[in-house]
Structure 1
Amino acid sequence: MQWRETLSPIRMDRVAVIAPADRTRDALEEVARSAAVELELPYTPGDGPEEIDRAAGAAVQNGAVTGLVGWAPSRRVPELQQALNPLGAGVVPLKAPRGVQPPTLLTGNEHRTRQAPKFSRLLVDTYTTVPYADVDPARLAGLAYVVMFGMMFGDAGQGLLLVLAGLIVRSGRIAKIRRFQRTWLFIFGAGLAAVFFGVLYGEFFGPTHVIPVLWLEPVENPIPLLIAALIFGAVLLAFAFTLGTINRVREGGWGYALYARTGLAGALLFLAVGMLAGGLVAGWTPMIVAAAVLALLALVLIFTGLFVEAGGGGTGTMQASVELVDTVIQLASNLVSFTRLAAFGLTHAALMSIVWQGTTALWHPDWRAVLAVLVFLVGNAITFALEGLVAAIQALRLEYYELFSRIFTDEGRPFKPWSPRLPESEASGSSTTERQTP
């Protein structure tokens, strides 16, 4: 499997299942066994054995032939055709109707419909079903999430605890948490990210000086940390605009992408803001002028798209103007939102600094040493739980509101294969046949 295949939904074919009228039921049993076709039925499909007869009764008959239409993954069509051939039945590819979006089936999910999804997959699926034409950002979203989490939860000692927790979850040895086994890689990755930033901050269960500071101490240097968070946020937004532009092209062509706020026009406006910031910092006038021209072009394109979308006329002009101002404000607020990566990283370091100061203040070679250890352990436990929850929520918020809102504008619908339970006689007969087949 090429890596590019994992970035888009599996290709779907519009198909018709054709069978002799007297073999319709047998053909539908093969379709049900394959779980390869989403049939379009004039009722809400069930999953009981009686569903076979219901679907057979709903088939369109023309002379001695019956048929039902639906969607099937392109890669599964030859396999289904081979299963139907002995019955004199077949699968006929059809031209997809215009304006109808095929269902979405993502790579790796073909045989996992009853299993818990991976965390990176769950990140996207909780927000929306990836439209059939769009790029699937699940893996990139998972990576961005753990990096943002680590920046806010930067402590090498507490990060190692998360790494250990991820390995324990992966082992499956504890029955009560076995159902979370598929999330182990996320926990492990989040722990590694926390260790990485903890090493940069010199934090190991707080500012204990167990490890040296490789970059900066958050409490002592909040401004550089804030600038780093803004730069990182700008990089993530650049990726979001890139994916958004690709999706707008795939959804409606270059004409649609050119005027879309989440397409090329929005990307140009974002680029203009970056050029303006660079020009102001460097004091380079030509870059500032180029940024102004590019921003003006982007605003004209966005306004045109909004004007057409609003239906034109005076009302359309007013609506497009308001939405244009909202677009500019929203872009600025989205970028500023990433300062929370620095803010919560600073909060975590400040809390751990308080815990460490309390520990060292109480430490004496007598009974107070026990109290100091207790403060250290309880303080770490509270900070670990509180900041872990906060960092997880804030990283999720940044994913959904700042990034996914640009990548997706429509919602897809998941592929739901028609696969009712077969009557016991047919199911057992099929199993016997499969066991006898070499």
Structure 2
Amino acid sequence: MPWSENLLPVRMRRVAVVVPRTGLRGALVRVAEAGCVELDVAEGLEPGPAARRLQAAGGHPGPPLLATEPPGADGPAPVTAPALLKGEAELEERARSAVRQGEVAALAGWCPSGAVAGMADRLRGTGAAFVRLRRPRGVEPPTLLRGARAPRRASFTPLVSAYGTVPYADLDPSWPAGIAYVVMFGIMFGDVGHGALLVLTGLLLWRRAPRRLAGVRTAWPFLVGAGVCGILAGFAYGEFFGPTHLLPVLWLNPLQEPERLLIAAVGFGALLLALAHGAGAVNRWREQGPGWAVYASTGCAGLAVHLGLALAVLALATHRTAPAAAGASVAVLGLGLTAAGVFRTTAGGLEGGTETAVRLLDVVVRVGTNTLSFARLAAFGLTHAALADVVWRGTTGLARHGGAALAGAAAVLVVGTAVTFALEALVAGVQALRLEYYELFSRLFEFQGRPFRPWYVQPAGPVPAGTDPEVTACSPG
């Protein structure tokens, strides 16, 4: 697979299952067991016999099961009947959505490109053909991000999918967004000891998560990544469960040099915003062509405004006139391109000019406020260091008295560290998520895609040996 494919959602193919009417059920059973084909379902269908029986039985809240043969007139055993009826109802819905011509039935849908050949082999024994079709004009394929079905593998797709569905034409930002998230978390949570606890928690969740916590197992890459970045920042700050002086300060002490930490945080935010603008320009090109990529405020025009203003501010801060003028010129060029793009979408005239002016003001204000918003990285990093300092001062103050005070010092250290760890982990996690969604993702995405929803029903009977029940039977390819 070319490396560039990893920057895109899984490639989809429009497909059709073509089968003799007599073999339709057998083919659909194979499709359901594979779990990698999204079949088109007709709207407004009346409930079939199995659906009516399921409704009469009061429904079934659990996952469906699918028998190789349809349930008999008396139905299956009472305990498993609702699950089997639910699976049969789903099969009936798709069978009744098939297009029939003479003795042949056909169902269209979507399938990951890498799974097409395997599905064709899987259906060959039923007499069905798995046919590749041309993509319908004006229809966007569903989106499947790589790693979305593998809870035990390192993947940052939950960070993106919680925000929304990436349009099929856009870049898949999962890994860059995940790396940016854990780095921001680490800046706010810089402590070698606290970071090591996060890494340990993430590894335990990955290896031995209880069944009741299976739903949060996908969080383990975030915990491990955030913990590693917290350890690195802790070395930079010289923090090990607070200012214990067990480690030298390799970069700066947050409590002694807050201004330097603040400048670094804002500069880091400006870099992330520039990268987000660049990715946004690529997305606009893929969505609507080069023209929109040039004129969009989340494309090249917005990137020019951001870089121009950043250069101008930096040059003015260092008293350099020529670079400041160059930066201002680049920013004005970006604003001009943005104005041209906005005005083309308005009704024109005075009303269009007013709307364009308001949008330009919004672009400039957002550049400043979004960049300064990253100052919270420094602010919460200082908060973390201050809380750890209070705990350490209380611990050493009690320990000096010796005797019974040593037990109190140990209690202060343990309880204070636990409270600081829990509070700051929550705050850093929320603040990093806020910066990711509001400052960065707002430049990446202008539209929402449609998620890929393959039809998967577990077959009735034991799961084959070696099969991971948390991963559907078909790889996304």
TM-score (ref. length: structure 1): 0.88
Which digits, 9 at most, give the CA deviation of each residue in 1:74-93, with x for residues without a partner? 22222233344455532333
CA distance in 2, matches of 1:322, 1:398: 24
Q: Is residue 220 of structure 1 aligned with residue 256 of structure 2?
A: yes
Q: Is the 8 A contact 1:241 1:407 kept in 2?
A: yes
CA distance in 2, matches of 1:354, 1:18: 71
Q: Is the 8 A contact 2:209 2:217 kept in 1?
A: no
CA distance in 2, matches of 1:23, 1:223: 73
Cα gap change, 1:252 to 1:191, in 2 (>3 Å): same
Structure 2 gaps of 5+ residues are: 46-50, 52-85, 465-477
The structure 2 residue matched to 1:133, chosen from 157, 163, 169, is 169
The structure 2 residue matched to 1:187, chosen from 204, 223, 229, is 223
Partner of 1:379: 416
CA distance in 2, matches of 1:164, 1:392: 17
Give the helix-richer structure, 1 or 2: 1
Q: Percent identity among equivalent residues?
A: 47
Partner of 1:32: 32
Cα gap change, 1:181 to 1:420, in 2 (>3 Å): closer
Structure 1 gaps of 5+ residues are: 432-438
Which digits, 9 at most, give the CA deviation of each residue in 1:209-262, with x for residues without a partner? 111111111111111000110111112112211111111111111111111111
Which digits, 9 at most, give the CA deviation of each residue in 1:251-285, with x for residues without a partner? 11111111111111111111112221332244333
CA RMSD of aligned residues (A): 2.6
Partner of 1:10: 10
Partner of 2:145: 106
The structure 2 residue matched to 1:409, chosen from 419, 431, 446, is 446
Q: Which amino acid aligns with 2:207?
A: S
The structure 2 residue matched to 1:93, chosen from 127, 132, 139, is 132
Mapping for residues 362-377 of structure 1, pairs under 5 Å = 362=398, 363-377=400-414
Q: Which amino acid aligns with 2:445?
A: F
Q: Is residue 74 of structure 1 aligned with residue 113 of structure 2?
A: yes
Q: CA deviation at 1:291?
A: 1.5
Q: CA deviation at 1:123?
A: 0.8
Q: Secondary structure at the match of 2:252?
A: coil
TM-score (ref. length: structure 2): 0.82
Partner of 1:199: 235
Mapping for residues 198-347 of structure 1, pairs under 5 Å = 198-347=234-383
CA distance in 2, matches of 1:220, 1:136: 40
Which digits, 9 at most, give the CA deviation of each residue in 1:103-149, with x for residues without a partner? 0112234x55xx58966211111001111111111111111111111
Cα gap change, 1:294 to 1:23, in 2 (>3 Å): same
Partner of 2:96: 57
Q: Secondary structure at the match of 2:107?
A: strand
Q: Is the 8 A contact 2:145 2:157 kept in 1?
A: no
Cα gap change, 1:386 to 1:138, in 2 (>3 Å): same
Q: Which amino acid aligns with 1:302?
A: T
Q: Which moved more, 1:69-78 or 1:263-272?
A: 69-78
CA distance in 1, matches of 2:96, 2:403: 86
Q: Which moved more, 1:22-31 or 1:153-162?
A: 22-31
Q: Across the two proteins, how many residue pairs are aligned to each other?
A: 424
Q: Is the 8 A contact 1:118 1:183 kept in 2?
A: no
Which digits, 9 at most, give the CA deviation of each residue in 1:162-200, with x for residues without a partner? 222233333317676565444333222212211211111
Partner of 1:41: 41
